[in-house]
Amino acid sequence: MTTKANNPRCAVCGGELQATTITHEEKRDSQIYLFQNVPAKVCTACGEIWIDEEVRQEIDQLIETGVPVRTVKTRGTTSPVR
């Protein structure tokens, strides 16, 4: 959703979206993938996070084909960190 001035607005509450980077967690089956410095837009009013489709596709591709930067052990499981 955008306004007439083409400023992005939150589809949930209509608040202003601010470009930033986030740490994004993605769970697939029994694995948890942690991505740092992910470009996103965050609503300044309600905190809803929006990740562009192109970025989501990159995340999917990294999960499918990427090599973990490091692996983190948590409570008996090992999760790759990308």
Q: What pTM value is reported for the model?
A: 0.71
What digits encode the pLDDT tens for the residues 29-64? 888 899 999 999 999 999 999 999 999 999 998 898
The domain limits of the chain are 17-81
Q: Is 70 helix (H, G, I), strand (E, B) or coil?
A: strand
- CATH code given to domain 17-81: 3.10.20
Buried b (16+ CB within 10 A) or exposed e, 61-80: ebeeeeeeeeeeeeeeeebb
pLDDT digits (tens, 9 = 90+) for 2-36: 444 567 899 999 999 999 999 999 998 888 899 99
Residue 53 tokens read as 């489709």
